[in-house]
Amino acid sequence: MKHVLHKLCLLMGLAVLGTAGPALAQTFKPSKPIEIVVHTGPGGGNDVFIRAVLAALKKDNLTQDQFVVVNKAGGGSANAMNYLREKTGDSHTLGVYASVFVSDVLVQESAPLGLEKITPVAGLVSEPAMVVVRADSPYKTMADLIAAAKAQPGKLKQSGGSVLSRDAVVRYVLMSHTRAEWSFISFPSGGERVSALLGGHVDFMIIEPSEAGEMIRAGKLRPLVQIAENKIEGFPNVPLLREAGFPVPNVPQLRGLIGPPDMPPAAVAYYADLFKRASQAPAYKAYLTSKQLGNEYLAPTDLRKALDSYQVELRGILKGAGLKVVR
Amino acid sequence: MSGFDGLMTGFAVAMQWQNLLWCVAGCFLGTVIGILPGLGPAATIAILLPLTAAMDPTGGIIMLSGIYYGARYGGSTTSILLNMPGEASSVVSCIDGYQMAKQGRAGPALAIAAIASFIAGTIGIIILTFLSPVLADVALSFSSPEFFAMMVLGLSLVVLLAGQSMLKAALSTLVGMWLTSIGTDLFSADSRFTFGLSHLLGGLDFIVIAVGVYAVAEIMSGIERGDETKLLPIPKGLRAYLPSWDEIKACRFAFLNGSIVGFFIGTLPGASSSISSFVSYGIEKAVSKRPEMFGHGAPEGLAAPEGANNADSSGAFLPMLTLGIPSGGATAMLLAALITWGYKPGPLFIQDSPELFWGLIASMYIRNAILFFMNLPLVPLFAQILRVPIALLFPTVLGISVVGAYAVSGSLFDVGTLAGFGMLGYVMVKLDFPTAPLMLGFVLGDPLERAVRQSLTMSQGDPSILISRPICAVILALAVLILISPLFRRKNPRTSLSD
Amino acid sequence: MNHLNRNHVLAGLFLLALGFFVVQQSLQWEILGVNGPGVGFFPLAYGSLIVVLALVLALKSMWAQLQQKRQTLELDHPVQTETPGKVFAALSVWLAFAISIALMKFIGFYLGFGLLIMFMTRVIFSRESRFVFLSGLLVPAGFFVVFGLLLKVQLPVGIWTGV
């Protein structure tokens, strides 16, 4: 009797293990709508981006899953990060990050989450930029601009976003490389920045090609250099920064997906795969091309490396710029 | 294509039955959204964007801009009836609108709001049609120093919103300015007054404060007063729902004031919609022959901000259509929608896609009319809200406030903030501290600080930039005039009696 | 009137404390930087103004209070004290509101709001039980339908009811 009982237990144990085993390696399938957290309000950069991406996914028929965009604006990335922290361990929450997620962590003492806690899911795009001046400006090349800046330190004005934005970081990088100096005027919205330039109140700005494209075509703005690894389509005559004689490290605006801390690996793999397929799908690629975004898919491990190295790089830049770095 | 020709072409497009249908749909949806605090046109447009992707672009953009516009109409309804602003720009309408409703003139108040919106909307669209290129350049010449001057003008209005005690009004304003500085500083990434709470890094939200100070506090006051079952006296008969000729005549200047001021401030990217309603309210009070009536149910005190917030949305289309520059979340979404349909908003937009541009402009006239005729007959219907027993009405208003506050960023922290400001508003009313200056200080504090710091960076530390530029000088002179206007008022014996 | 002055003094003192706090904080930050006013400039400015004006308010009200006391002594009138009215009711509604919000974190919007409605209809407005129960049940349901389903607005969900 004991024997039989023993055997029965063994069999049952094996059966449980048998079903549990594949369950662990079982592929994840979303069982409810997936929330994608965005750190801006509706109409903001990441918001417009992810909505378009989701629309492209639908067009390409890549998934039947339902995605819901959730806006958690405030404090740069703080509100969004807070939400992700509250969703620790959840498999149905994603967040769209931008470079500001990295810089906020470095500078804000009360930042809710460190980068090491976040689960990287997929790098998606890197957004290039251009230095533009007004069409009637005396500066025809980047060299002109830098020379003028050197001649009169602090006189030239650049309009841009917050002191942690990509425009500001490029400024630090360029200023330390060229030893030139110019002032930086922060405007909270893109509209104000462009208006300031068009109205002649500032001398130049760094702007994404998708925003500036039409104004350049209309002859209101003139691009001087591109800030990218590879030339942007549609601007063959505009040199890259390093081609123009400024071999500085590139400062990309990265966008991609992250997940809450302790996200189950099966879920991560699922989403990573989905967006990997997306990066090769026609509608998605068409959208990226139309917005001149660099299609740079990164798998989770690569994204982790990229984020970490960017954090290190940014820390150095911000410290060099005299900002208070707390991490 | 010049103004008039374009308009005719546009009307041909806009009058097609399917576009008319989309227009009506947009207006209706917009009105509903405007009523609810915390739910704004930007969010709605964002939700509808994927659905509109498959639509015909003309119909789509007409509907979406109908939503944007309709929200301004809807926001005034709850401001007047419940002292609950549905939108940032409707806050000022609470001041005189709710007082009118308390005096049993809810119907006339709603009607005047609709009329003012219609007139201002029409004027705004006319300006947009014919003066776009000129004004686009004027708007570009406005930058931080001019903004500074405008903020000073706005703050000098505190003097006019002061009511009894200038001292308390000033303190209210200053506290408002402190509240708005809570959060992350744009220029240095330092955080101010956040007490280590990551929730505060983004600062406080205006709607949450406004709904708390106005709606929640009013409920508390209502309970303290022991209001009767029915909230406010219900007018009898249809005539009671319409404004008297005297009232309409009193608003003559307000209609014009709201349109011009609202439109112009709307064209400036970075000027939030509530600024135009505050400024036009202040100007109206400054030129009024009976300023003591303001805050106690003066119809022109309602007409001016109502007109302003409509003209403001027309103005916001100016940089969007002539340069492709958004003025806020909603216009940014509209631009995104245009791009989705394959258009390229920018300086060449009017040239490249005249049918869409003029179709949109023409639809604005139509939309304006639709909203007016949609809302005016609904006035008696809306006024019936006041028949709901307050045992149900008050909790419902609290519920809507909670939903609205939560909708801002999906965090219960905002709802807690709402409760906190409800208490503040109640205390302020008990102590006779005016609440409007608190709102004004909150709205203007941040832009003022930004404008000063931006200007001084532009001029490399030279403060004269703030007064030397021509437009600045003019606006600052205006502000000074407003500041000293009470001195002239005292000479009027009628006014000093009622002071 | 008597109470109003005393309350003004209290308000003045409170604002004075606030002003001091703002000034103290802003002094820890950069006041004037390379590019013009720093982070602390504006807070210092309005903080100081708050201090000054709050002081004026407090002193004015204290003076008015003294005048009043002198008046009542001279006139030998019983002071017209302000009836408490239903201030207590108003404050308790606020408290219920605050508590229901805190509860929403755990039990969600429907239940939290329902409780608030029942409190208000029963305790404040003294309605009969049937009314209380029905409204506590139906009004949140209405909200759920209008906001949650039709308009797709997110309603707070609680830990114990959250999905």
pLDDT in tens, B35-52: 777 777 887 888 787 777
Alpha helices in A204-246 (DSSP H): 209-217
The answer as to whether B56 is a domain residue is yes
The distance of A88 to chain C (nearest Cα, Å) reads 14
Beta-strand runs (E) in B139-179: none
> Residue A271 is encoded by which pair of tokens?
């989403």
Question: Do B177 and C46 make contact, defined as CB atoms within 8 angstroms?
Answer: yes
3-state secondary structure at position A263 = coil
Task: Please report which confidence band the pLDDT of residue A24 belongs to, taking 50, 70 and 90 as the band edges.
Answer: very low
User: Residue B77 is encoded by which pair of tokens?
Assistant: 């309804």
Q: What average pLDDT does this structure show over C54-71?
A: 87
> Cα–Cα distance between C26 and C39 in angstroms, integer?
8
Q: How many helices (H) and strands (E) does chain C have?
A: 4, 2
Phi, psi of B266 (to 5 degrees): -65, -30
Closest partner residue to A51 (CB to CB) among B49, B140, B458 is B49
Note the helical H segments in B103-143: 106-140
Q: Residue A183 has what DSSP assignment? A: E
> What distance lies between CA A83 and its chain's CA centroid?
18
Nearest to A191 among B189, B327, B336 (CB): B327
Chains that touch C (3 or more CB pairs under 8 A): A, B
- For residue A70, the chain C residues in CB contact (below 8 A) are 154
Please list every residue in chain A whose beta carbon sits closer than 8 Å to the beta carbon of residue C35. Answer: 183
Contact A158, A308 (CB under 8 A): no
| pLDDT per residue rounded down to tens, chain B (499 residues) | 566 777 888 888 878 888 888 888 888 888 888 877 777 788 788 878 777 777 888 888 888 888 888 888 778 888 898 898 888 888 899 988 998 888 888 888 988 998 999 999 899 888 888 888 788 888 888 888 888 888 888 888 777 777 668 888 899 999 999 999 998 887 777 788 888 777 787 788 888 999 999 999 999 988 888 766 555 666 666 667 778 888 888 888 899 999 999 998 988 887 888 889 998 988 888 888 887 888 888 899 999 999 998 899 889 888 888 888 888 778 888 888 888 788 888 888 888 888 888 888 888 888 888 888 888 888 777 877 777 888 888 898 999 899 888 877 777 888 999 999 999 999 999 888 888 889 989 988 888 998 888 888 888 777 777 778 888 888 888 888 877 776 666 544 444 433 3
| Residue B492 belongs to a domain | no
Query: What is the tens place of the pLDDT at every residue in B423-443?
Result: 999 999 988 888 888 998 998
Question: What is the spatial distance between Cα A132 and Cα B334, in angstroms, rounded to a whole number?
Answer: 25
For residue A78 the two structure tokens come to 């703080």
Q: Give the residue ranges of DSSP H helices in chain A.
A: 2-25, 45-59, 78-86, 99-107, 142-151, 166-178, 190-198, 209-217, 265-278, 282-290, 300-320
Judge whether B71 lies within some domain: yes
The one-letter amino acid at A248: V
Number of domains comprising chain B: 1
Closest residue of chain A to B329, computed from CA coordinates: A43
Neighbours of chain A (3+ CB pairs under 8 A): B, C
pTM of the model: 0.85
**Lookup: tokens for C154:** 């997110």
CA distance A24 to chain B (A): 34
Q: What is the mean pLDDT of residues C18-41?
A: 84
Judge: C163–A32 Cβ closer than 8 Å, yes or no: yes
Which of residues 223 through 282 in chain A touch C, CB cutoff 8 A?
none
CA dihedral A274, A276, A277, A280 (to 10 degrees): 150
User: Given CB atoms, is B189 within the 8 Å cutoff of chain C?
Assistant: no
CB contact under 8 A, B175 and C8: no
| B320 in a structural domain | yes
Map residue C7 onto helix, strand or coil: helix
Q: Does A70 touch chain C (CB under 8 A)?
A: yes
Instruction: Evaluate the CA torsion angle B272, B277, B282, B284 in order and state its sign.
Output: positive
Contact A183 C154 (CB under 8 A): no
Q: Does any domain span residue B494?
A: no
Which residues in chain A touch residue B42, judged by CB atoms under 8 angstroms apart? 41-43
- Would you say residue B53 lies in a domain? yes
Rounded (10°) angle between helices B41-52 and B17-35? 140
- Half-sphere exposure of residue B206: CA atoms within 13 angstroms, side-chain side: 26
Closest-CA residue in chain A for C152? Answer: A68
B394 touches chain C (CB under 8 A): yes
The beta-strand segments (E) located in C47-154 are none
How far apart CA B14 and CA B62 sit, in angstroms, is 8
Residue A32: its chain C contacts at CB < 8 A?
A: 163
Nearest CA in chain C to A31: C163
- Residue in A with minimal Cα distance to C154: A70
For residue A307, give the nearest of A47, A116, A67, A83 by alpha carbon: A116
Range of the domain at B475: 3-487
Q: Which two tokens stand for residue B488?
A: 């002239």
Residues of A within 8 A of B139 (CB-CB) are 195
Q: Is C78 on the interface with B (CB under 8 A)?
A: no
